[in-house]
């Protein structure tokens, strides 16, 4: 499959809708204009790839809806070249958006089947993220600290290891809760784990953040 004028047109409309719905970050909007979302989905979903919907991917997981990807990316408030950790690679779509924003992206996925699909997909499309098969609860201590951390699954609580791996002055965007989550933005001020500011951005619904790998 390729990126046709038809897909580019749908994508332009998606970006215009995001703008109307309050996404103002130009780097987020221009990244989402560049990433061909339909190439992160199965062919049969091609016709709805640019609607504002979460859609099924393998292993019972979902690709987040475009407005959620845009909102989380905007809350990160990242500058080009920053080091970002993403938990929950899934299809790789959010990963690609972060790459298109000029960030240095490290992404972890616990489902081997998804990791095996998204890693070559990102590479083929020219998005240079470093992909890892692992448990996001542990983060990536060998590559820490990170300027930004984004979690794309619903976490029962803020994983302490991830907060440790965030730089001082760093930002973490994480949906926290079990059945339903609240979108939380954490700004870390010093090295201490309690020296943080927490802002809440309303209810959301993600697939759960689960422990351990699934081979
Ligand atoms: N960002 C993805 C969203 C995928 S859904 C996209 O754009 O497609 C969330 C993903 O988080 C799922 O693929 C799920 O397997 C993964 N996940 C859940 N718990 C995890 C954990 N502890 N570590 C790493 N990935 C996890």
Cα of 94 vs centre of ligand 1, distance in Å, is 11
Residue with more model confidence, 195 or 149: 149
Question: Tens of pLDDT along 54-78?
Answer: 999 999 999 999 999 999 999 999 9
User: What's residue 1's pLDDT?
Assistant: 75
Average pLDDT, integer, range 28-51:
97
What is the pLDDT at residue 194?
79
Average pLDDT, the chain: 96
State the residue for tokens 């979903």: 45
DSSP assignment of 88-106: --TTSHHHHHHHHTT-EEE
User: Catalytic annotation on 91?
Assistant: no
152 Cα: distance to centroid of ligand 1 (angstroms):
6
The finding on whether 63 has its CB within 6 A of some atom of ligand 1 is yes
Structure tokens at 23: 């996404």
* The model's pTM: 0.98
Q: Are 94 and 150 in contact (CB under 8 A)?
A: yes
Is 73 touching ligand 1 by the criterion CB < 6 Å? no
Cα 134 to ligand 1 centroid, rounded to whole Å: 11
């Amino acid at each position: 499959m390729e990126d046709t004028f038809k897909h580019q047109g749908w994508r332009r409309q998606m970006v215009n809708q995001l703008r109307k719905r309050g996404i103002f970050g130009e780097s987020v909007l221009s990244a989402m204009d560049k990433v061909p979302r339909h190439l992160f989905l199965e062919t049969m979903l091609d016709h709805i790839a640019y609607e504002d919907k979460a859609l099924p991917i393998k292993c019972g997981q979902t690709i987040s809806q475009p407005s959620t990807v845009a909102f989380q990316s905007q809350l990160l408030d990242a500058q080009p070249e920053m080091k970002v950790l993403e938990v929950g690679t899934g299809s790789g779509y959010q990963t690609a958006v972060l790459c298109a924003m000029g960030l240095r992206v490290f992404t972890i996925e616990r489902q081997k089947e998804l990791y095996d699909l998204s890693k070559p997909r990102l590479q083929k499309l020219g998005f240079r993220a470093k992909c890892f098969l692992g448990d996001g609860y542990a983060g990536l201590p060998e590559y820490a600290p990170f300027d930004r951390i984004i979690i794309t699954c619903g976490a029962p609580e803020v994983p302490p290891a991830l907060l440790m791996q965030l730089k001082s002055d760093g930002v973490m965007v994480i949906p926290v809760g079990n059945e339903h989550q609240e979108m939380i933005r954490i700004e870390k001020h010093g090295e201490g784990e309690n020296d943080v500011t927490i802002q809440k951005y309303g209810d959301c619904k993600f697939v759960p953040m689960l422990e351990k790998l699934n081979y």
